[in-house]
């Protein structure tokens, strides 16, 4: 009995010590950090807009495509694609005026991005953006509209969070089981002694 209590205490201590080391990667949107790039595409993948910040020239048409198995949308001030986009869906947006055009996915808080047009100085609102659906001919397989160019993406550490979370869950389960066994054993002994 005392051995189980020591094991449970050691597990709880280990979980308490390991908790601050593990990355926070539950819920929300992108957890891999901001990426920057140039080109003509933004890909929705791993609950991130990649690149997060896209630099283009005035008049550029940018293709947004969803490569995630989950739904996304692109909401912005006066432009975007507000309907749910499933895997393979996409649209294009043409940015005429210089400025910064921020956008977000309303389904995943924290999943945000921006298109920087020209030097970024300008109104940057929806009045200068023309949005068109991305049309893929039926005889061609659906592929991403385009790949981003020069998008530096940091290495993902989400597997560390999953493994660490699983280990913490296992330790918590062992600790709860040990406490429940100890409690049940104590209840049985007191019931037996009073009979």
Could you please report the per-residue DSSP string of 135-166? ---TTS----S---BS---PPP-HHHHHHHHH
Q: Which residue segment(s) compose the domain that 176 sits in?
A: 2-24+159-194
62 and 19 in a common domain: no
Residues 94 and 184 in one domain: no
- Residue 30 placed within a domain: no
**pLDDT value of residue 55:** 96
**Rg (the chain; Cα; Å):** 25
Task: Specify whether 115 is located in the same domain as 175.
Answer: no
Q: Are residues 127 and 73 in the same domain?
A: yes
Query: Quick check: is 31 in a domain?
Result: no
User: Per residue in 33-71, pLDDT tens?
Assistant: 889 999 999 999 999 999 999 999 999 999 999 999 999
At residue 15, the 3 state secondary structure works out as: helix
Are 141 and 167 members of one domain? no
Question: What's the burial of 53, exposed, middle or buried (CB within 10 Å: 0-12/13-18/19+)?
Answer: buried
Apex 114 CA angle, 66 and 85, nearest 5: 20
Quick: pLDDT tens for 23-34. Answer: 444 456 677 788
The pLDDT mean for the chain works out to 74
Domain count, the chain: 2
Q: What is the pLDDT of residues 160-188, one digit of tens each?
A: 444 555 555 666 667 666 666 666 665 54
Same domain, 112 and 164: no
44 and 14 assigned to the same domain: no
Parallel, antiparallel or unpaired: strands 53-56 and 112-117: parallel
Task: Answer yes or no: do 145 and 184 share one domain.
Answer: no
86: in domain: yes
pTM for the whole thing? 0.57
d(CA 105, CA 109): 7
41 and 123 both lie in a single domain: yes
Instruction: Evaluate whether residue 66 is within a structural domain.
Output: yes
């Amino acid at each position: 009995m005392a051995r189980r209590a020591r094991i449970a205490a050691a597990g709880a201590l280990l979980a308490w010590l390991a908790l601050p080391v593990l990355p926070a990667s539950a819920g929300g949107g992108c957890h891999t950090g901001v990426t920057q790039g140039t080109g003509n595409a933004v890909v929705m993948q791993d609950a991130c807009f990649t690149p997060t910040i896209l630099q283009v020239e005035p008049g550029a048409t940018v293709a947004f495509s969803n490569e995630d198995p989950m739904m996304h949308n692109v909401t912005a001030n006066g432009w975007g694609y507000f309907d749910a986009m499933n895997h393979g869906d996409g649209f294009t947006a043409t940015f005429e005026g210089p400025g910064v055009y921020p956008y977000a996915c309303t389904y995943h808080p924290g999943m945000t991005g921006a298109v920087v047009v020209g030097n970024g100085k300008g109104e940057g609102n929806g009045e200068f953006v023309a949005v068109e659906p991305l049309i893929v001919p039926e005889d061609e397989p659906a592929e991403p509209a385009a790949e981003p160019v020069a998008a530096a993406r940091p290495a993902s550490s989400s597997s560390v969070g999953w493994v660490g979370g699983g280990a913490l869950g296992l330790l918590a389960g062992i600790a709860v089981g040990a406490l429940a066994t100890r409690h049940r054993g104590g209840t049985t002994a007191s019931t037996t002694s009073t009979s």
